[in-house]
Structure 1
């Protein structure tokens, strides 16, 4: 992370809250990009529901195949950067949740390192 990063979250028009923890001049993805990332995701109560760090390797996926909050948020940081996302339920899994890991109406929190943009 950068020595100095914002203590407050910025907010987009959609309601996504974010703060860039490590700025870079690297390429920023578009909504149609495929990205490789390291990340940790947790619920409001602090329970981690998924983490590439715990799996020991980054994950690669198209931004078109993830929750809306990720698609929007990852476009705000460049390759090599790090971002913290606070994703409201409506930009995540909404009223259905994700069975077995994310309850309905859950706001999600993520730390994401953008390793590579394809």
Structure 2
């Protein structure tokens, strides 16, 4: 959802409804410094909102701003809270889940070597490894190399590119990575797409700059397993 837009594009988004592509663009007239400052605030607000959710209704956002200034809110505090929670907890989740499901279904059609587990994890094994040395317990310590990318192909986390390895308790990894790692043995290598609910979910991961509801691609090399 995160997009980088020019100032001109953001301005247009703030002035034209997404569902009215033929609407006339109104060019703002900056007559005073207050006008300019107001416009700059609008630009910054637009950029921030696009980073949060590019599918928000721009006209409704503007209407909410006007109503707040006029003291004519159409929703009371409780109604606003209920609407917010419904959108964040259900509407966004359903939209994300539908996108991920379609994405992974198309992937499996294009590459038949990718298969899905009951949880929705989609993976392809390159090297099975020694299946007598498998991490079966979440307390097992694993030594691994990996790289993680988002759907856009941007690297969000990696040990591989820096030639480093990670030694960690299996259970400390995201749920989807835990499940994927258990599919191979020592010396194994696989690729896997991890749906957002099996990765970092609606919370995301601030330390890795991973946005909420982000599906991730992992390539894993399981170097060693220490059973607990």
Higher relative contact order (CA 8 A, sep 6+): 1
| 2:147 aligned counterpart, secondary structure | strand
- Alpha-carbon deviation of 1:112? 0.4
The answer for the alignment partner of 1:114 in structure 2 is 222
- For 1:21 and 1:45, the matched residues in 2 are separated by 23
Question: Shift of residue 9 of structure 1?
Answer: 1.2
Once structures 1 and 2 are overlaid, which stretch shifts more, 49-58 or 67-76? Answer: 49-58
Task: Answer 1 or 2: which has greater helix percent.
Answer: 2
Q: How does 1:23-62 map to 2 (within 5 A)?
A: 23-26=128-131, 27-30=133-136, 31-62=138-169
Alignment of structure 1 residues 12-91 onto 2, 5 Å: 12-26=117-131, 27-30=133-136, 31-91=138-198
- Which one has the bigger strand percentage? 1
In the TM superposition, residue 54 of structure 1 has moved relative to its aligned partner by: 2.3
Q: Which residue of 1 aligns with 2:212?
A: 104
* Secondary structure, aligned partner of 1:95: helix
Runs of 4+ in 1 over 4 A off after TM superposition: none
Structure 1 residues 56-107: Cα deviation after superposition (integer angstroms, max 9, x where no partner): 2111100111110011110000100101110000001111111152111100
Q: Secondary structure at the match of 1:69?
A: helix
Distance 1:81 1:48 in 2: 22
Q: What is aligned with 1:92?
A: 199
Give, in whole Å, the separation in 2 of the partners of 1:65 and 1:25.
23
- CA distance in 1 between counterparts of 2:152 and 2:200 reads 17
Other structure's SS at 1:112 match: strand
The TM-score normalised by the length of structure 1 is 0.89
What are the ranges of 5 or more consecutive residues in structure 2 without an aligned counterpart?
A: 1-110
CA RMSD of aligned residues (A): 1.4
